[in-house]
Amino acid sequence: MKKTEQPFGHAGPVLDFLLTIATILSLIATAIMIIEGLSRYILNTSYFWAEEMVRFMMVWSFSLTIGIAGFKKLHIRTELLVQKFPRAVQRLCWILSCATGITFALVLIYSSIPQIVRYFDMGIVSESNLELPMWLLYLSMPIAGLGLLWYYLSALRYAWSVGDPFMPETEDFSTSPDSDRTRTSTNPLL
């Protein structure tokens, strides 16, 4: 495989580290939800901190992984119309899609920073007894925007120089009867 034909989607060690952190946050949030559910059912007791901790952890987990999802080809892709176009028009569609994603990421970053500064300056905290600083929760928004920006800039570079940055690597257009069985065995959701 030539250098220009390498598949797009290698996130690198930084994003793999962020994925690990997000996974740990999700697992801890899940454990807290299970403990809270069992406590309510068995002990008839609820913990005041559980709901808020789960909410904070899930928001951060999502925010850390939104850019990684693109690199791992997990963003939603609609391609029915684009596949019918000639290759040059397809490339233009990929570039426009990347430019739209970059614009969204920049707006997300730009609009969230004043909100974080305002929450920090005003000392706004959560409504529970934990009184967690709300700027800490909203700090996840520009981080999500940076992840998206990194992904869409990489996708734009790939679309400009190589080809479709959104195509899954394991896509199989085979029409043989065994192709459905192969796709189903590699993807248990099919």
Q: 67 near 146, Cβ under 8 Å?
A: yes
Residues paired with 125 in a beta bridge = 133
Q: What would the pLDDT profile of 81-123 be if each residue is shown by its tens digit? A: 888 888 889 899 989 999 999 999 999 999 999 999 999 999 9
Q: What would the pLDDT profile of 45-92 be if each residue is shown by its tens digit? A: 888 889 889 999 999 999 999 988 888 888 777 777 888 888 889 899
DSSP state of 75: S
CA atoms within 13 A on the CB side of 89: 7
Q: 63 near 143, Cβ under 8 Å?
A: yes
Ordered by start, the domain boundaries in the chain are: 12-165
Host H or E run for residue 119: helix 87-122
The pTM of the full predicted model, rounded to 2 decimals, is: 0.77
Q: Return the CA Rg of the chain.
A: 21
